[in-house]
Amino acid sequence: QQQVKQSPQSLIVQKGGISIINCAYENTAFDYFPWYQQFPGKGPALLIAIRPDVSEKKEGRFTISFNKSAKQFSLHIMDSQPGDSATYFCAASSSGAGSYQLTFGKGTKLSVIP
Amino acid sequence: GAGVSQSPSNKVTEKGKDVELRCDPISGHTALYWYRQSLGQGLEFLIYFQGNSAPDKSGLPSDRFSAERTGGSVSTLTIQRTQQEDSAVYLCASSPINWGEQETQYFGPGTRLLVL
């Protein structure tokens, strides 16, 4: 049973546009929601993360929106650039689990075209 | 400072052989995780080590998989009698113990395993 559902699988955006990736979770014990960026041949790199006590977090061109009641969160990339072309993963973990293991979405391959 | 390192970066083996994958976490990070990334299953948790506590092995897919962490630092993931479905990228991550940072996991570049 997939606990974190991510959409879309792939996304093509024009340079300067807004990229939006959505995730939904089922486990209400999740209390940490990071987004990772992965380039081909590299390991995932933490981009931005949010906890459920806030509804939005912004770092530069990247914003997480969080809706606790709907159990959904999303990543917005403003002014998308060709260098943002990568695969993005949402994830979730629970401090109550003890291990903070991450449950990942299936990933979104973003292509930003000039 | 240095990030998480993994070796080898690529490994090709024959079905039925044993393989060992190594992870060097960031210095001072007490938590260490192994994940597997495959085309069909995405990123899956395998095992977690924290200090001297017993590891959380709940994600290991079969008893052919095992891992150890020596001296609270380097970790080795061993796959015995490899099968073709074991082909994947094996990722290691580490975390600091500092309050408020313990959920932040830093990933290595992975070991790409191909079982022929």
pLDDT tens readout for residues A36-53:
999 999 999 999 999 999
Using CB atoms, pick whichever of A36, A42, A93 lies closest to residue B103.
A93
**Do A44 and B43 make contact, defined as CB atoms within 8 angstroms?**
yes
Of the CA atoms within 13 Å of residue B20, those in its CB half-sphere come to 6
- DSSP at B44: E
- Contacts of residue A86, defined as CB under 8 A and 6 or more positions apart, other chains included, come to A37, A38, A39, A109, A110
B72 has a chain A CB within 8 A of its CB: no
Q: Is B95 on the interface with A (CB under 8 A)?
A: yes
Classify residue A87 by burial, with Cβ atoms within 10 Å: 0-12, 13-18, 19+. Answer: middle
| Cβ-Cβ contacts under 8 Å, A32 against chain B | 103
CB distance A26 to A84 below 8 Å: no
Residue B28: its pLDDT value, please?
Answer: 87
Which residues from chain A sit within 8 angstroms of residue B44, using beta carbons? Answer: 104
For the ranges A62-66, B39-43, B109-113, the lowest mean pLDDT is seen at B39-43
Cα(B3)–Cα(B27) distance, rounded to whole angstroms? 8
Confidence of residue B44 (pLDDT cuts 50, 70, 90): very high
Amino acid at site B7: S
- Contact at CB, A102 and B104, closer than 8 angstroms: no
Give per-residue pLDDT as tens, A69-84: 999 999 999 999 999 9
A19-25, strands of its sheet edge to edge:
A4-7, A19-25, A72-77, A62-67, A56-59
How much is the pLDDT for B116? 96
CB B113 within 8 A of CB B18: no
Residue A74's pLDDT is what? 98
Looking at CA atoms only, how far is residue B15 from chain A in angstroms? 24
CB-based contact B8:B111 (threshold 8 Å): yes
- Chain A within 8 Å of B109 (Cβ-Cβ)? yes
- Say if residue A1's pLDDT is above 60: no
- The total of other beta-carbon atoms located within 10 Å of residue A21's CB is 21
Percent of chain A with pLDDT over 70: 97
Q: Would you state the pLDDT for residue B96?
A: 86
pLDDT of A80 reads 98
Residue B2 banded pLDDT, cuts 50, 70, 90 = confident
Contacts of A105 in chain B (CB under 8 A): 42
- pLDDT of B90-102, one tens digit each? 999 999 876 666 6
Work out the mean pLDDT of chain A and round it to a whole number: 94
